Amino acid sequence: MPDLTVGVASAISPLVRRILAPNPGLMTGPGTNTYLVGIDEIAVIDPGPDDTGHLDTVAACGGDRIRWIVVTHTHPDHAPGAVGLKDRTGAEVVGFDERDGFTPDRSAGEGFALEGTEFRLTAVHTPGHASNHLCWLLHEERLLFSGDHVMQGSTVVISPPDGDMSAYLDSLRRVQSLRLRAIAPGHGHVIEDPKAVVAYYLSHRAEREAAILAALRAGATTVDAIVARVYVDVAGELHPVARRSVHAHLLKLVAEGAARGGDIERDWEPV
């Protein structure tokens, strides 16, 4: 397994190199993975944060062969580097929409395709973690760049209102329906058993949702009370994050007629 070492390009497949950005953290694991796809013509996926050293490394690695800068979504650990990398390379910036200070030269939705000399990269719209989230499929290697839709080693956060649990689960099923060899996530190592990992994500969410509904029915009527009861296996430092996922699950239960409520700080009740 190639190293996750900041500032060093490592080949993860014949067509793909990965450079880790220096932004490790609770939510980013070892940091953001920036991927360089292609040899003669290169698409950079997720330039990462606006970090001079990281962008210099990516630009030096790809040189003037970087044609496109592609983002999975506009969160601050994935997209802000697009500006500095475009300054260094003149490459075209591609993403779902203009948001969070990110401005694409070209908007990409479901099915959008980039054709490089050696590759074809197509967008798979996967809302849930972020409504403007795109996974990118490298056809030649059946490799999916999953951004924050599927990660390795850290938890995907669904934070309403832009985060949507129902959409997230639908998008996971969408990924499960693709014929994939591997997943290259926005954080962590390459996932070599995508079917099993996505199946685990789905069953994990189903278990959490069942536990949340049970807690609600047992009298835990606030998000904090539900977190305290359901997330006993999760470190306390992650509880603020768990609150957002509980809120997302509750909103899904409301939409399905199983609960009442709406505000994360207010009381909820089962139906």
Binding residues (CB under 5 A) for Zn ion: these are: 75, 148
- Give CA–CA dist 188/30, Å, rounded: 6
Length of the chain (residues): 271
Find out whether 251 and 209 touch, Cβ atoms under 8 Å. Answer: no
Tokens 């996971």 -> residue: 172
Tokens 């591609």 -> residue: 94
> To the nearest whole angstrom, how small is the minimum distance from the Cβ of residue 255 to Zn ion?
23
Pull the structure tokens for residue 81. 């580097």
- Give CA–CA dist 21/268, Å, rounded: 40
Alpha helices, DSSP H, located in 67-112? 81-89
> To the nearest whole angstrom, how small is the minimum distance from the Cβ of residue 122 to Zn ion?
21
> Closest residue (Cβ) to Zn ion?
75
Task: Pick the closer one to Zn ion by CB: 88 or 174.
Answer: 174
Question: Measuring CA to CA, which residue among 151, 13, 132 is closest to residue 75?
Answer: 132
Catalytic residue among 40, 46, 56, 77: 77
> To the nearest whole angstrom, how small is the minimum distance from the Cβ of residue 117 to Zn ion?
30
Task: Pick the closer one to Zn ion by CB: 75 or 88.
Answer: 75
> To the nearest whole angstrom, how small is the minimum distance from the Cβ of residue 28 to Zn ion?
9
- How are the residues of the chain apportioned to helix, strand and coil, as percentages rounded to the nearest 5? 35, 25, 45
Find out whether 145 and 35 touch, Cβ atoms under 8 Å. Answer: yes
Task: Pick the closer one to Zn ion by CB: 76 or 270.
Answer: 76
Find out whether 55 and 47 touch, Cβ atoms under 8 Å. Answer: yes
> To the nearest whole angstrom, how small is the minimum distance from the Cβ of residue 29 to Zn ion?
12
Task: Pick the closer one to Zn ion by CB: 67 or 75.
Answer: 75
Residue 266 makes CB contacts below 8 A (sequence gap 6+) with 222
User: What is the spatial order of strands in the sheet that 120-125 belongs to?
Assistant: 113-115, 120-125, 134-138, 143-147, 182-185
Active site residue 50: no
- What residues are labeled active site? 77
